[in-house]
A and B are shown apart, each in its own frame.
Chain A
Amino acid sequence: AQSVTQLGSHVSVSEGALVLLRCNYSSSVPPYLFWYVQYPNQGLQLLLKYTSAATLVKGINGFEAEFKKSETSFHLTKPSAHMSDAAEYFCAVSDTGTASKLTFGTGTRLQVTL
């Protein structure tokens, strides 16, 4: 069974600082990997996805993530945090079989301070 671990349920950074949200996955086959963002009282929006093309994936709003097979990691980064980045971030893994069911991590709430 697949699983996703997100280290740190809460992360706080200053505006302009580097954002690093950690995600490790376990999967018996090369997976599809996703980062979603959830703003308060809203649904989830896709930030970026890895589907076995380039290992460095660029997403929306200046976010990017690097797939490292040897470390089974897919950490999310942004060079300079903005107040509008405050939200909850979810890493998810999908197998390559039918239905592409997602297994989510428990989420990391990002706080951005002045």
Chain B
Amino acid sequence: GENVEQHPSTLSVQEGDSAVIKCTYSDSASNYFPWYKQELGKRPQLIIDIRSNVGEKKDQRIAVTLNKTAKHFSLHITETQPEDSAVYFCARMDSSYKLIFGSGTRLLVRP
């Protein structure tokens, strides 16, 4: 179907530890997979994205991996800091350019 399943819904980590959020989808026509960060009371902002012809992408402490065969993709944040605390959303775009979001993960980084 259209949905993107996102897990976990909440994640609490100690500052300096890594955080991993995973999303799964079923539509094999999906070709673009972004991740958005939303701080409390603010609008969502793109932090990293990956296209279907790439398996991994990194940007400093953030990385995204994509397994097209298994239809899942993950966000990895290393050396977490308190300012990483926010809600993170994954999303997928299908061949009609429709962007469907997961339900979000609330990340808390404990100092």
> Does A pair with B?
no
